[in-house]
C-alpha cells in the first residue's frame, strides 16, 4: 500500500484538475437544467391544453432517456466547431458533455418544479389574482418563491446525481477524473495500482457528494416538519 501511494503521489495534482472539471461540468449542467427545467415545469401547469400536453411529453421524454445514450447522441450530433458568419467557434468535448448531462436533468427538474408548484395552496393563487398580478407575475413573484422550499431538497439531490454522472464524459474522450485515472494506469502499467486508483476516484466523489446528500435529507426533514406544523 505504501508503494502504491508513493507511485500515485505525483499524479494527485493532475487527478485534482480532472475532478475540478467534473465539478465544473456538474455545476454548468445543473444551471442549464434549472433554467430550462423551470420554464418547462411551469409550462406543465399552463392554462393552454396544448402547451401543458407538449411540456408534459417533453418532460417525460427527457427524464426517461438513458444518460449514457444521450451522451453519445449529443457527442455525435453536434459538430466539433460552429460557424457563425465567417468565424469558427470551437465546441469542445466538455461543452457537449455539459449539454448532454443537462438534457435528462432538465426533465427531472421540470418534474421538481411542477411538484413544487402543486404544493402551493389554491388560496395563494387566488390571493395573487385578487392583488392584481397577471399570469406571469402571479407565478414568478408569488407562487414560485413559496414553492422553492419544497424544491430545494430534491434539486440538491438531482445535483448530486448530475455530478456523479459527469464521469460518463470519460467514455467520449473528456479528460475528467475517471479518464485521467485510466491514463495513470496506462502510464504506470502496474496492475497493483488498479484498486488504489479507482478507490481514490471513488473516495473523491464520495467526499464531495455525501455531505450534499446529508444536507438534502436534512432540508427535506425540516421542511416536512414545517409543513406538518403549519
For 94-123, the pLDDT digits (tens) are 999 999 999 999 999 999 999 888 888 777
Position 179 pLDDT exceeds 80:
yes
Q: How high is the pLDDT of residue 230? A: 43
| 3-class secondary-structure state, position 82 | strand
210 versus 130: the higher-pLDDT residue is: 210
Check pLDDT > 70 for residue 200: yes
Q: Read off the pTM.
A: 0.87
What is the band of 229 on the pLDDT scale with cuts at 50, 70, 90?
A: very low
pLDDT number for residue 210? 95
How far, CA to CA in Å, does 159 sit from each of 22, 141, 178, 226?
12, 25, 19, 24
3-state secondary structure of 25: helix
Please tell me the predicted confidence (pLDDT) of residue 117: 83
Give 90 or 13, the one with higher predicted confidence.
13
190 compared with 107, residue with greater pLDDT? 107
Q: Return the pLDDT at 226.
A: 55
Residue 139 is given by DSSP the state I
What pLDDT score does 123 carry?
A: 77
Average pLDDT over residues 70-98: 87
Taking the CA atoms of residue 174, residue 82, residue 109 and residue 107 in that order, the dihedral angle to the nearest 10 degrees is -100
pLDDT over threshold 70, residue 78: yes
pLDDT for residue 135 is more than 80: no
Pick the residue with more confidence: 8 or 27?
A: 27
In this predicted structure, which of 11-15, 43-47, 187-191, 223-227 has the lowest mean pLDDT? 223-227
Q: Is the dihedral of CA 66, 71, 76, 81 positive or negative?
A: positive
At 90 the three-state DSSP class reads: strand
Q: Looking at 62-71, 83-92, 130-139, which range is the least confident one?
A: 130-139
- For residue 17, the model assigns a pLDDT of 93
What's the confidence (pLDDT) of residue 227?
52
Structural domains of the chain sorted by starting position, each given as residue range(s) with its CATH number in brackets:
2-7+21-223 (1.10.3720.10)
Amino acid at each position: 500500500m505504501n508503494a502504491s501511494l508513493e507511485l500515485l503521489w505525483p499524479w494527485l495534482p493532475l487527478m485534482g484538475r480532472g475532478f475540478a472539471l467534473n465539478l465544473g461540468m456538474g455545476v454548468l449542467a445543473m444551471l442549464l437544467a434549472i433554467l430550462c427545467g423551470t420554464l418547462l415545469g411551469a409550462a406543465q401547469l399552463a392554462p393552454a391544453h396544448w402547451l401543458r400536453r407538449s411540456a408534459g411529453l417533453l418532460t417525460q421524454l427527457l427524464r426517461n432517456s438513458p444518460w449514457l445514450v444521450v451522451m453519445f447522441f449529443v457527442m455525435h450530433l453536434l459538430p466539433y466547431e460552429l460557424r457563425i458568419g465567417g468565424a469558427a467557434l470551437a465546441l469542445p468535448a466538455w461543452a457537449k458533455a455539459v449539454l448532454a448531462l443537462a438534457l435528462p436533468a432538465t426533465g427531472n427538474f421540470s418534474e421538481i418544479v411542477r411538484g413544487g408548484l402543486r404544493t402551493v395552496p389554491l388560496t395563494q393563487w387566488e390571493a395573487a389574482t385578487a392583488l392584481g398580478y397577471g399570469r406571469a407575475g402571479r407565478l414568478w413573484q408569488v407562487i414560485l418563491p413559496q414553492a422553492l422550499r419544497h424544491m430545494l431538497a430534491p434539486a440538491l439531490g438531482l445535483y448530486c446525481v448530475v455530478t456523479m454522472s459527469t464521469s460518463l464524459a470519460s467514455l467520449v474522450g473528456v479528460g475528467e477524473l475517471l479518464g485521467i485515472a485510466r491514463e495513470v494506469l496506462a502510464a504506470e502499467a502496474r496492475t497493483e495500482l488498479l484498486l488504489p486508483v479507482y478507490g481514490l476516484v471513488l473516495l473523491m466523489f464520495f467526499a464531495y457528494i455525501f455531505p450534499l446528500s446529508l444536507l438534502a435529507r436534512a432540508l427535506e426533514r425540516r421542511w416536512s416538519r414545517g409543513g406538518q406544523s403549519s
